[in-house]
């Protein structure tokens, strides 16, 4: 399974990429606003750092507008893929963009049916939002399991990006299910690295090394 970073914060991206574990980045208008980023320049800089798939979201709500914006965004860098919200207009846009050879990430998916429709329209990626489903009392990871089963049944090539990840358990469950990708906030990534017993173990080893007068 691949890990993407869900952020537009350049400092976080540089740090996470330096760990050697990040294969791509997902952004959206909210993340861009939070990072106080210039949209096009920020996407270009992220692509240069990651050198892997970077999702940039359209703002238009009609298919024609989405296609125009997607074409402009795709010209920023070869690694850009276009985030398109699921919906009738979104499906139209995904179909046309797929025919043009522009990669798409169908976002705001909350059901297996939505994921199936996006895949049939030609989406490169589909992004079920597990955290938001959990927030309203649904089982977000069950939706992911359903999507993965359907895609396996019919050898569907669209990749599943588990999104709206709230904690490390989401990532573990996504990996157990067999999801292609999980896109995680930097704070969740840090929690995945840490464990109290690891910290305790390091502290003990250092104490013992000091007592023994060990040097390298």
Q: What are the tokens at 54?
A: 């970077």
Q: Report the alpha-carbon angle 120-125-130, nearest 5.
A: 105
Q: Cα–Cα distance between 43 and 32 in angstroms, integer? A: 10
Distances (CA, A) of 116 to 124, 139, 171: 12, 18, 22
Say what the alpha-carbon torsion angle 74, 42, 38, 164 is, to the nearest 10 degrees. Answer: 90
Residues classed as catalytic: 83
Give the chain's radius of gyration (CA, Å). 19
Bridge partners (DSSP) of residue 107 are 85
37 three-class SS: coil
């Amino acid at each position: 399974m691949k890990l993407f970073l869900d952020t537009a914060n350049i400092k976080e991206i540089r740090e996470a990429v330096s760990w050697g574990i990040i294969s791509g980045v997902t952004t959206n208008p909210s993340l861009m606003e939070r990072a106080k980023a210039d949209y096009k320049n920020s996407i270009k800089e992220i692509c240069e750092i990651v050198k892997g798939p970077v999702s940039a979201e359209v703002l238009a709500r009609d298919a024609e507008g989405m296609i125009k914006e997607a074409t402009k965004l795709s010209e920023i860098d070869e690694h850009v893929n276009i985030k398109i919200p699921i919906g009738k207009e979104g499906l139209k846009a995904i179909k046309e963009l797929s025919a043009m050879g522009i990669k798409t990430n169908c976002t705001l998916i909350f059901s297996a049916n939505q994921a199936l429709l996006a895949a049939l329209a030609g989406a490169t990626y589909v992004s079920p939002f597990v955290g938001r489903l959990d927030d309203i009392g649904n089982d977000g990871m069950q939706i992911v399991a359903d999507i993965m089963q359907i895609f396996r049944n019919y050898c569907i090539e669209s990749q599943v990006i588990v999104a709206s990840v709230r904690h490390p358990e989401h990532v573990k469950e996504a990996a157990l299910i067999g999801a292609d990708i999980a896109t995680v906030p930097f704070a969740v990534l840090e929690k995945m690295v840490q464990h109290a017993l690891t910290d305790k173990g390091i502290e003990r080893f250092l104490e013992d090394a000091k007592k023994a007068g060990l040097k390298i």
